[in-house]
Copies of this chain bind each other. A is one copy, B any other.
């Protein structure tokens, strides 16, 4: 391995800037999966992979792109992320990991001999789910957790286009998507590594450029409806009201307090709880709300803590309903189990983050990633680059260049360690 060129972020950053120019308009990145800007980004990527690393690029039955560098053994290490973006997204979300993966391939291709293991660079299809609402579509298909027919056939975008038609337009057949799992198993993958921006403010607040991702948090997402009695704001005395909004308000505050109480002091043990959707009826200035709908999205890395949060939220809903003399119903929207990343690979990530950035802070990911799907079928690890501002899904998403440089070098180092480890098994 001593022949490998030193890890450098130079070409990755230059590629990212080129892609930005190619697929961004005044409102931000427009690489929405299954659309023209996304196809343009992928064509550019395929040409680059073929020309600069001599890779063969194929597409699987779910639309994921695989660029392969055959090694001395068929056992493989996979690197990658996603080129697709939300509408008006940023220049790093997803493509940072794909372009860093291309740098992996370029370095190993330059060795002049096959690498010790086969290397695959994947560009997952439709990670964001921005157009049809189903995120992690390509990686779930590969992991075998997507029931394409049941989950996808009824989905439409805002313009009324059906997802199966959008897939057809891209040469993908919905009824063939389940093949992607078998195709994935044939890759004999021993490891999956992904670099991504944090999309949150944790590393920035710790003044750290690079983070070791412990896993992705489990999610309990539910919709609640508090039902009381609408009444005239002047005519109904406070003690005779059944104000559904006040119950929803008390619930939201209780969930926040619950999250604070169940959080530990480290990023690893922190949990989050969010009421993002709120709707009251009849929504008049002179009407006591007779009904209030509110969503709760709870996340934790520890499944037992997540279960405690859910139980606590249910209690909080019942207490709030009783206090304001209303009824409440709660229906699940989505439940996702926590995905803890592989300890051995995470150890490699830790070493290389420390080498590149001086220290190796650990944190879970609140957002899901393609790595969440991979963690179910292959040893997986992730590296986070600091986001600053600590937001994403907007054109002002950014990471300072020194953070990107260290994160890319840390990722390249982690891949090197992983390749060596897999080759020596």
Give the number of chain A interface residues (Cβ < 8 Å): 64
> Cα distance A246–B296 when bound, in Å?
13
Evaluate contact between A366 and B249: CB separation under 8 angstroms: no
The SS class assigned to the A binding surface is: mixed
Interface residue A112 (Cβ < 8 Å from any Cβ of B): no
Evaluate contact between B276 and A200: CB separation under 8 angstroms: no
Interface stretch of the complex, out of A100-108, A145-153, A162-170, A267-275:
A267-275
Please report which residues of chain A, range 229-258, place their CB below 8 angstroms from some CB of chain B when the two chains form the complex: 229-240, 243, 245-246, 248-250, 252-253, 256
A391-415 CB contact bits vs B (8 Å, 1 = yes)? 1110000000000000000000000
**Closest Cβ of chain B: how far from A322's Cβ, in Å?**
15
Residues from chain B with a CB closer than 8 A to the CB of A259 are: 238
Interface stretch of the complex, out of A27-35, A182-190, A283-291, A351-359:
A283-291
State the oligomeric state as a number of copies. 2
Interface residue A199 (Cβ < 8 Å from any Cβ of B): yes
CB < 8 Å neighbour of A233 from B236, B253, B260, B299: B299
> Cα distance A393–B230 when bound, in Å?
10
**Closest Cβ of chain B: how far from A418's Cβ, in Å?**
26
A218-238 CB contact bits vs B (8 Å, 1 = yes)? 010100000001111111111
Residues from chain B with a CB closer than 8 A to the CB of A201 are: 231, 235-237, 240
> Given that A229-B391, A249-B252 are contacting pairs, would A235 and B200 also be in contact in the complex, using a CB cutoff of 8 Å?
yes
Evaluate contact between A391 and B232: CB separation under 8 angstroms: yes
Interface residue A280 (Cβ < 8 Å from any Cβ of B): yes
Residues from chain B with a CB closer than 8 A to the CB of A391 are: 229-232, 235
**Closest Cβ of chain B: how far from A63's Cβ, in Å?**
23
Interface residue A333 (Cβ < 8 Å from any Cβ of B): yes
Residues from chain B with a CB closer than 8 A to the CB of A368 are: 234
Evaluate contact between A240 and B390: CB separation under 8 angstroms: yes
Residues from chain B with a CB closer than 8 A to the CB of A205 are: 237, 240
17 further A-B pairs in the complex, CB-CB below 8 A; given A201-B236, A233-B274, A236-B272 = A199-B235, A201-B231, A201-B240, A217-B234, A233-B366, A234-B272, A235-B391, A236-B366, A237-B272, A238-B260, A245-B252, A246-B252, A276-B288, A277-B285, A278-B279, A278-B289, A285-B297
Q: Across chains A and B, which 6 residue pairs bring their CB atoms closest together, nearest first? A: A234-B366, A200-B235, A249-B249, A233-B274, A234-B367, A199-B235
What are 13 of the A-B contact pairs (CB < 8 Å)? A200-B235, A202-B235, A232-B391, A232-B393, A233-B297, A235-B390, A238-B263, A238-B270, A245-B278, A249-B250, A276-B289, A277-B280, A277-B283
